[in-house]
Chains A and B, each alone.
Chain A
Amino acid sequence: DVKVTQSSRYLVKRTGEKVFLECVQDMDHENMFWYRQDPGLGLRLIYFSYDVKMKEKGDIPEGYSVSREKKERFSLILESASTNQTSMYLCASSPLAGAGDGGELFFGEGSRLTVL
């Protein structure tokens, strides 16, 4: 089974702190994603990566950065956490989609971040 593991289920940080959210997948997937989930807004894409050291901005990248040094690991970084970044963060991975094959995502259990 595909396993996507997020390092922390619950975090509490203070405004201005640097926050690292780690995600590891064990299925050799090329694509990895970070989403943010907020009530009434659904899932919004922050950043994604389709290869090692490659990254692309999603729909809401402001205030975030990412790192992908190894294929299996995709980290989300909040350089200076703010209260409006309190949210549930979901990591996902998917294999490279080919003809006739549409990008099913495999998700981790999420990291609930509270910024005080």
Chain B
Amino acid sequence: AQKVTQAQTEISVVEKEDVTLDCVYETRDTTYYLFWYKQPPSGELVFLIRRNSFDEQNEISGRYSWNFQKSTSSFNFTITASQVVDSAVYFCALIMMNTGFQKLVFGTGTRLLVSP
């Protein structure tokens, strides 16, 4: 079975702090994609990144970076120098590519609160 675990329910930081959101996944497939989505207070989930299972290179996009480690089945997300606008709920998700119709499986989300 496939599963995504986000153990951190809520994280509070002060602006300019670095913060890491953890994501651990379970899957028997060898071919899969991992995602991060951001859900601001407006409600719409916004796609942040997709990473396929054959590409373990870390990725950096501005203040955002992602650390994918197959050895620990983790896909962690770090925000550097956090800002108030980063306050949102962040979801990690997994999709398997070899097992029938491709459905995203979501974690339970981590609420990030960044205070001024």
Provide the main secondary structure of the chain B interface: loop
Do B44 and A108 touch across chains, with their CB atoms under 8 A apart?
Answer: yes
Q: Number of A residues whose C-beta is below 8 Å from B?
A: 27
Q: How far is the CA of A97 from the CA of B107 in the complex (A)?
A: 21
Do B47 and A106 touch across chains, with their CB atoms under 8 A apart?
Answer: yes
Q: Number of B residues whose C-beta is below 8 Å from A?
A: 25
Interface residues of B (CB under 8 A from A): 6, 9, 32-33, 35, 37, 42-47, 50, 52, 91, 95, 97, 101-104, 106-109
**Which B residues are in CB contact (< 8 Å) with A40?**
9, 108
Q: Which of A67-111 contact B (CB under 8 A)?
A: 88, 90, 92, 97, 100, 102-110
**Which B residues are in CB contact (< 8 Å) with A45?**
103-104
Do A97 and B102 touch across chains, with their CB atoms under 8 A apart?
Answer: yes
Known: A41-B108, A90-B45, A102-B33; 11 extra A-B contacts, CB below 8 A, are A35-B106, A40-B9, A42-B91, A42-B107, A42-B109, A44-B106, A58-B103, A103-B33, A103-B102, A108-B44, A110-B44
* 18 A–B contacts, CB within 8 A, in A order: A35-B106, A40-B108, A42-B107, A42-B109, A45-B103, A56-B101, A58-B103, A90-B43, A90-B45, A97-B97, A102-B102, A103-B95, A104-B35, A104-B50, A105-B45, A106-B47, A109-B42, A112-B43
Does A60 lie at the interface of the complex (its beta carbon under 8 Å from any beta carbon of B)? no
Do A104 and B47 touch across chains, with their CB atoms under 8 A apart?
Answer: yes
Interface residues of A (CB under 8 A from B): 9, 35, 40-45, 48, 50, 56, 58, 88, 90, 92, 97, 100, 102-110, 112
**Which B residues are in CB contact (< 8 Å) with A41?**
108
Q: How far is the CA of A110 from the CA of B6 in the complex (A)?
A: 22
**Which B residues are in CB contact (< 8 Å) with A104?**
35, 47, 50
